[in-house]
Structure 1
Amino acid sequence: MSTHNLRSRILLAAVLAATLGACASSPSSSSYGSSPAPAVNRCYECGTVERIEVLEVTGQSSGGGAVLGGIVGGVLGNQVGKGDGKKAATVAGVVGGAVAGNAIEKRTVKHDYRITVRMDDGRRVTVTQPTISSNLREGSVVRIDNGRAVLMR
């Protein structure tokens, strides 16, 4: 092989290596037309409200109504009569007040809210809470915090 032929081959190999090297270079963040990928903020507790249901919860007898009713009834009964009549009125007031207080407690109705949320990761979570923000609606973005749906924006 001649020296000239050998030089030509070496030169051709160098040009090919440089060309292929330029094609194989990794893109830099400052290259034309590219922008850095945005950071993805994932929120495991975040989602969108799909449904809000209002639940009526009837009162349950905790005994508080009966105790309070008995006290009020006893005080009012004690204001009536004299002697044994006063004692009988006080007892009747305690008993009547306790019965009335218990009945009132059982008749109370409160509202709870059952909120169904489609979480960002695809899960569906349902929470029940006694109050909600006046701005919370279906489609609102929320974060589940201690078993409550908290409005994000």
Structure 2
Amino acid sequence: MKTTQTLAAVMIAASALITGCSTSNTQPTNYSSMSNDSTYGVIDSIQIVRLDPATSGVGAVAGGLIGALAGNQVGSGSGRTAATAAGAIGGAVVGNQVERSRNQPYDAYQITVRLDNGEYRTVNQDSVYDLRVGNRVRMVEGRVYRY
């Protein structure tokens, strides 16, 4: 029973570590709170880019826990411990691949804007509507709008 408790503690610590190391999307800069010079500009370029969303680590953690539980049902003694560890590692790999396959890459428009204060900002948007290179634009909450 003590081995099971130790194993559970190790799995919880490992899942917390994996989740803590996962990447997450940062909040877009709130351009409306900046001065007017930094929210207005001219479109410098528009390109189509393929975005590949990063995995959050949830699939790996869930897969690792399920794999550890399945591995814990095999054998006894040190064989059970080895099977549990192998199940956790294998489950984490499979869980990560399942999550990656659900987050398919997609195309987006990468818009580079030369702001009135001389800075350049790049924004990824799902569409450009009527935006063209050279248009005067305003940036609001991480999106570009024709001005």
Q: Name the TM-score, length of structure 2 as normaliser.
A: 0.44
Q: Which has the higher contact order (CA 8 A, sep 6+)?
A: 2
Report which of the two has the higher share of helix.
Answer: 2
Bigger Cα Rg: 1
